[in-house]
Chains A and B, each alone.
Chain A
Amino acid sequence: MSTKTVAEMSFEEAMQELESVVGQLESSTVALEDSITLYARGEELKKHCEAKLKSAEEKVAQITLGADGAPSGTKPLEGL
């Protein structure tokens, strides 16, 4: 298993590990004790992925440029 905690994972990492965990759970070679750990890990990963999916929000901003042409900040871009 990854050394990263689930909370640190990107959506993609969490999703990949969840797929791997489910794959292992479905294989008959995993011992019962290990399967319980995997099951709990899967639960955690699934919650993390769900949270990531639900947190999706749209926010559009536009760069404002300073006199030197470098970005000085952002301002909301509206009306689109």
Chain B
Amino acid sequence: MPDLIDPPNLGENAPEFTVSEISGVVKRLIEGEFSHVRIRGEVGRVSRPASGHLYLDLKDDRAVLAGVIWKGVATRLRHRPEEGMEVIATGRLTTFAGQSRYQMVIEDISPAGEGALMAMLERRKKALAAEGLFGAERKQPLPYLPGLIGVVTSPSGAVIRDILHRLRDRFPRKVLVWPVPVQGEKCAASVAAAIAGFNRLQPGGAVPRPDLLIVARGGGSIEDLWGFNEEAVVRAAAASTIPLISAIGHETDTTLIDLAADQRAPTPTAAAELAVPVRADLLAHLNTLEARRIAAQESRLNVRRQRLKDLARALPRPIDLVAGAQQTLDNRALRLQAALRAVTHNKRQVFARASAGLRPNVLKQGMGQSRHRLATLSAQLVRALGQVVQQPRTLLKANGAALRAASPARLVAAQNERLTRLSAQLDQAVRAGAERRRTQLDALERLRQTLGYTQTLKRGFAVVRAQPDGRIITHAKEARRATGLDILFQDGAVSLNGSAGAKSGGKRAPKSDHRDPGQGQLF
């Protein structure tokens, strides 16, 4: 907006400004001109530093405007600005001389129209649904007949009246109202606190704990109902351990608390209908049950009574039951007497027949026969015993004789005798042998003497031996060669030297009686 800061005069002698001076002028102009503006735009980048102030950009398709929401304002906002939200911001423009910038100080900011609000609602719904706060498994059943109903709503106005009217029609109950503002900035926080507060009540405490909660509000614009879309309310409703019915706006309005509640009623009146049954219906049902109970038992008794009657009728008279048996008994009794008599008679006859043959003589006769037989058998027995003994006795005798004959003493005597005989024979044989051998020896001696040369010597022959070797000389030639001769006679030997021998060779001169040495030499 350069035209805004054009100096009033465009002449050569225009005054000079310092940067600070011109910045100050600009600031005064802008803040003076735009002390209260409403600006529609889309929320751009949003930053929330720890200081609590909130910085954001407002933009359209061509321009961007920096904005700030101071901490005090930010905490009071009904709708927190989110990026992409179409908003209308109310506030003033200011400059930031240090950076040659201008910006908007926002005093209030709200979604621009229903479309923007619905888009935001949709995003929040998705986020909470993702946490599972709307899950069917979280829904609690409503009590059939709650003793005390807690209602979170405005204590004045049509809503509580509608609820109480409908309760009265159906089933009057005790109701405890927790008053809350149902629209405006405090609505959400109060409703959330009320739901949590009812849940904190202990059974039997100073303030009684309800069995059922109804959170209700009448119809209104989407902005009016907005409090019931807030996260705090939705979380409180989802966390409630007391079953909770939500009834916000009209049938067509759906807020997020409806999704978190255990039951959603389209209107407060409908909430009362969900809360309690119709007493008259219950009484009617009770009466029906009562009638059925009595009728069932009546019918049961009737059926049994009838059955008993029928059975009793079918029972025969006792006398009829026994009459047949009685008659049979009488009949049998009569036959019994007759039969007894007949049996006695028969038995007596049999006895008489049997006893007729029973006399002492019969017994005696039998005994006599038996005695005789006994004597006979006794005699036989003695005889038989004698015979039986005789045979072994004979055998014993024979064996005894045999045994004596085989006595060892006899055997020894016999052998002794034989020994003596054999000894004598042996002596005789030995003596005869010796005799025979002596005779043979004498004969042989005689023969030897006959055959030996000594006998020849007796007949005039001599044995001549050469000296010194003693050899027998049988030829004269030998004798001449010998140095000496030994001549053996019958009674001894004579030694001759040299010539003598040669002169008288063949002459036997038995002078010596050295027979034995001659003989030894000869053999």
Contacts and interface: CB of A to CB of B under 8 A. Distances in A.
B128 interface: no
A22 B288 CA distance: 10
B296 A59 contact: no
Contacts of B178: 62-63, 71
B179 interface: yes
B250 interface: no
Contacts of B206: 73
Contacts of A6: none
Contact of A56 (B172, B201, B289): B172
B290 to A, nearest CB: 5
A80 to B, nearest CB: 5
Given A74-B207, A80-B160, A80-B164, A58 B172 contact: yes
- Chain A interface: which size bin? 35 or more
Given A15-B282, A21-B293, A53-B286, A60 B177 contact: yes
A77 B285 CA distance: 33
Contact of B197 (A39, A42, A43, A71): A71
Nearest to A62: B177
Which secondary structure dominates where chain B touches chain A? helix
Contacts of A58: 164, 167-168, 172-175
Contacts of B172: 56-58
Contacts of A67: none
Interface residues of B, number: 37
B145 interface: yes
A62 B289 contact: no
A60 B197 contact: no
Nearest to B168: A58
Counting chain B CB atoms within 10 Å of each CB, which of A28, A39, A43, A60 scores highest? A60
Interface in B147-206: 155, 160-161, 164, 167-168, 171-179, 193, 197, 200-201, 206
Interface in A37-71: 39, 42-43, 46, 49-50, 52-53, 56-63, 69-71
Given A18-B289, A22-B292, A49-B286, A61 B168 contact: no
A74 B176 contact: yes
A42 B171 CA distance: 24
A66 B167 CA distance: 29
A63 B179 contact: yes
B145 A59 contact: no
A75 to B, nearest CB: 10
B292 A26 contact: yes
A25 B174 CA distance: 36
A39 B297 contact: yes
Interface string B439-456: 000000000000000000
B300 A59 contact: no
B161 to A, nearest CB: 5
A58 B149 CA distance: 11
Contacts of A21: 293
B488 to A, nearest CB: 175
Contacts of B177: 60-63, 77
A77 B155 contact: yes
A54 to B, nearest CB: 9
B330 to A, nearest CB: 44
B300 A25 contact: yes
A62 B292 contact: no
B182 to A, nearest CB: 15
B176 A63 contact: yes
B176 A12 contact: no
A40 B371 CA distance: 103
Counting chain B CB atoms within 10 Å of each CB, which of A28, A50, A71 scores highest? A71
Given A63-B207, A71-B207, A80-B160, A46 B290 contact: yes
B436 to A, nearest CB: 152
A56 B178 CA distance: 22
Nearest to A49: B286
Nearest to A36: B297
Task: Identify the 8 closest CB pairs spanning chains A and B, nearest first.
Answer: A12-B144, A58-B172, A25-B296, A26-B296, A42-B293, A62-B177, A60-B175, A59-B174
Interface of B: 143-145, 155, 160-161, 164, 167-168, 171-179, 193, 197, 200-201, 206-207, 279, 282-283, 285-286, 289-290, 292-293, 296-297, 300, 304
